[in-house]
Amino acid sequence: MSMEQPPLVKSAERTVRILETLAESHDHLTLSELQQRTGFPRSSLHALMRTLVELNWVETDSARSAFGIGPHALLTGTAYLDKDPALPFAQDCLEDLRDEIGQTVHFARRDGAHVLYLATRESREADHIIPRVGRRLPAHVTALGQVLLAQLTDDEVIALLPEPLTPLTDHTITDLAKLTGELDQVRTRGWSYEREQGTLGVACVAVAVDYRIPATDAISCSMPAALAPAEVEQITEAVIKHTRKLAATLRREGIR
């Protein structure tokens, strides 16, 4: 933090921490649970919750004893999507790609050590778990994340990722040296492939969208892990072709 910068505003920081804590929790949280999870003093928390409820950013259950994210948080959050100049082009790309390969396809952006899903087009026969727009997964477990981590140097990757890496399945790469080895292969061949590292029964191939260096965005296809190698190869070629076309369009449009 530079010395010239003003300090963070405590109430503002607490406000977004409360919202993030509510967002991460599966259930509504009571004031005591929020106090426990945030460590904020009860009196401060009480006044902040009243403010957020009043402004529709937090809602209470019918007994007014527990809190959850409110509708105005949704309104504001999705504005991130509305303002992204690359997204409409990426959505067109996903439509074309799904029409060609018939599998579920995604457009995502790296957010630190995670990938954030910005658009998804579902396979007609989707029977596996589909990340929804606005959801986030650890970068190291997904093909999307691996192809975007491969845009960084090994030193940058090591500085970015927590250790140990959290496993989501028995196939998740949890060893950082093994991951950087995998990223090296991704750099050489230009695409990433993971099989059941994020979700059992699902494989995924991803290609970075080359309109920024390092690339922040990638396109992926998630497919049943049981597909034959020839089918995977065909899908990979289609993902490469459509993602290159998207990158060319974005550069032509001057979107950076």
Tell me which residues touch a copy of itself (CB under 8 A).
5-16, 19-20, 22-24, 26-28, 43, 46-48, 50-52, 54-57, 62, 68-83, 109, 111, 116, 132-136, 256
Across 41-103, the runs of DSSP E, i.e. the strands, are 58-60, 66-69
Residues 144 and 204 sit within 8 Å (Cβ to Cβ):
yes
Q: Which is nearer to a copy of itself, 135 or 252 (CB)?
A: 135
CB 161, min distance to a copy of itself, A = 17
102 alpha-carbon distance from chain centroid: 22
CB 134, min distance to a copy of itself, A = 3
CB 178, min distance to a copy of itself, A = 28
Of 247, 250, 241, which is closest to residue 221 (Cα–Cα)?
241
Q: From edge to edge, which strands make up the β-sheet containing 58-60?
A: 29-30, 66-69, 58-60
Residues 101 and 84 sit within 8 Å (Cβ to Cβ):
no
Number of H helices, E strands in the chain: 10, 9
Q: Which is nearer to a copy of itself, 117 or 193 (CB)?
A: 117
CB 118, min distance to a copy of itself, A = 8
Q: Which is nearer to a copy of itself, 63 or 226 (CB)?
A: 63
Q: Which is nearer to a copy of itself, 70 or 198 (CB)?
A: 70
